[in-house]
Copies of this chain bind each other. A is one copy, B any other.
Amino acid sequence: MSKVKNPTIRDIARIAGVSTATVSRAFAKPDQVAEPTRTRVLDLADRLGYRLNMRAVDFRHGRTYAIIVLVSDIANPFYSEFFKGIEERARADGYILLIGDTAGDATSEETYVGMLLTGRADGLIINTGFCPESLAEPFARSPSSMLPPVVSCADLDGLDVPTVRIDNYRSSQLAAEHLLGLGHRRMAVICGSLSIRGFADRLAGFADLVRQAGGVIPDDMIVTGRMTIESARALTTTLMTRDDPPTAIFAHSDEMAMGALHALRNLGLRVPEQVSVVGYDDMNYAKVVTPALTTIHLPRRLWGATACQQLLLQVGSGDRVQRNIDMPTELIVRQTTAPPPR
């Protein structure tokens, strides 16, 4: 069998005795090619090990059918369902997903933004909470309609793009209401980085509601760390070994709540009898751990799917998208919250 090293559409055409147009059609629009011709071409292509060169196709089409999702830490299990939601939606439209982990590193951020701006991807979903600098500049110079579509999962300072967001402020008030209603007065908040608007809002929502109820969150009851079990474990230990420790803790993620629970257990403190804990995210494990976690439910998968949906709408047509979509949140009361000890 005479093999060509890397057959192109032209090789197939020549050997099959047809034009390149016919070969192209045989693959892209099979019904526009007569049955005998089609099978002959397809068979030959298969025999020669021909494969469409997608680099050429993408170039010709002027798009890549890829979208980038920018996150700050791919290892954060929070994202796993979020990715799934995006991926399912993207795949349905023939798009594939590129996951960009910035790891808080400006260079990698730039790399991925560069891929968008230079046409290696058709759109971008941002869920880092930050506006990449390299993106802010082009958006400031040109109207967004001249640039590839971007959707953010939070309001971003300095970047006016459609958002699909959750109401961090209001959902945190739910946590405060719940704890206040149980009788807690001395409460702590374990926060994600407050330079990220979302976390700042969670703190503000919680603190504002406490204040409205005539209370206050002392400064030394507000601590900040990374969104990991380990980070929260350390913070909680510090928090609880102070004089006059809190009777309740509001953590900015379930991962952090898990760390808090771990620390409390090590300190010999019982949850919820001695200390209450409220998490955030409603991770899959929240309902199965012991004690089951009281937390703020986020529709993570739907969130991803919706963000992707909005992006694809822009990719396809011009610009007919809602500017802001709010995802519903909900307080799920389980077993880590109870009235404070007398």
Q: In the complex, A27→B296 CA distance in Å?
A: 50
Residues of B close to A58: CB separation below 8 A: 55, 58-59, 120
Q: In the complex, A66→B112 CA distance in Å?
A: 12
Residues of B close to A66: CB separation below 8 A: 120
Q: Interface extent on A, as a size class?
A: 35 or more
Picked from B74, B141, B229, the residue with its CB within 8 Å of the CB of A49 is B141
Given A101-B83, A111-B96, A266-B290, A55 and B5 contact (CB-CB distance below 8 Å): no
Q: Which of A54, A83, A288: most chain B CB closer than 10 A?
A: A54
Are B230 and A49 in contact, with the CB atoms below 8 A? no
Are A55 and B59 in contact, with the CB atoms below 8 A? yes
Q: What is the minimal beta-carbon distance from A9 to any residue of chain B, in angstroms? A: 13
User: How does the 8 Å CB contact mask read for A83-116 relative to B, with 1 for contact and 0 for none?
Assistant: 1100100010000101101010001100110010
Are A80 and B91 in contact, with the CB atoms below 8 A? no
Picked from B77, B101, B103, B230, the residue with its CB within 8 Å of the CB of A75 is B77
CB of A51 within 8 Å of the partner chain: yes
Are A118 and B53 in contact, with the CB atoms below 8 A? yes
Are A62 and B54 in contact, with the CB atoms below 8 A? no
Q: What is the minimal beta-carbon distance from A250 to any residue of chain B, in angstroms? A: 24
Picked from B51, B83, B115, the residue with its CB within 8 Å of the CB of A118 is B51
Identity of the chain B residue whose Cβ is nearest the Cβ of A96 in the assembled complex: B111
CB of A146 within 8 Å of the partner chain: yes
Are A285 and B75 in contact, with the CB atoms below 8 A? no
Q: Which of A62, A98, A138, A230: most chain B CB closer than 10 A?
A: A98
Residues of B close to A213: CB separation below 8 A: none
CB of A119 within 8 Å of the partner chain: yes
Are B120 and A55 in contact, with the CB atoms below 8 A? yes
Are B120 and A54 in contact, with the CB atoms below 8 A? yes
Residues of B close to A6: CB separation below 8 A: 146
Q: In the complex, A64→B54 CA distance in Å?
A: 10
Are A83 and B74 in contact, with the CB atoms below 8 A? yes
CB of A15 within 8 Å of the partner chain: no
Are A142 and B49 in contact, with the CB atoms below 8 A? yes
Residues of B close to A83: CB separation below 8 A: 74, 101
CB of A117 within 8 Å of the partner chain: yes
Are A64 and B74 in contact, with the CB atoms below 8 A? no
User: How does the 8 Å CB contact mask read for A27-67 relative to B, with 1 for contact and 0 for none?
Assistant: 00000000000000000000001011111101100111010
Are A285 and B230 in contact, with the CB atoms below 8 A? yes
Q: What is the minimal beta-carbon distance from A149 to any residue of chain B, in angstroms? A: 15
A sample of 9 cross-chain residue pairs with beta-carbon separation below 8 angstroms, ordered by A number, consists of: A49-B141, A49-B146, A55-B119, A55-B120, A58-B120, A75-B80, A87-B108, A91-B107, A91-B108
The 3 closest A-B pairs by CB, nearest first: A75-B80, A54-B118, A59-B59
Beyond A51-B117, A52-B118, A56-B59, 15 additional contacts (C-beta under 8 Å) are: A6-B146, A49-B146, A53-B119, A54-B118, A55-B63, A58-B58, A58-B59, A64-B120, A74-B99, A84-B103, A91-B107, A91-B111, A98-B98, A229-B285, A230-B288
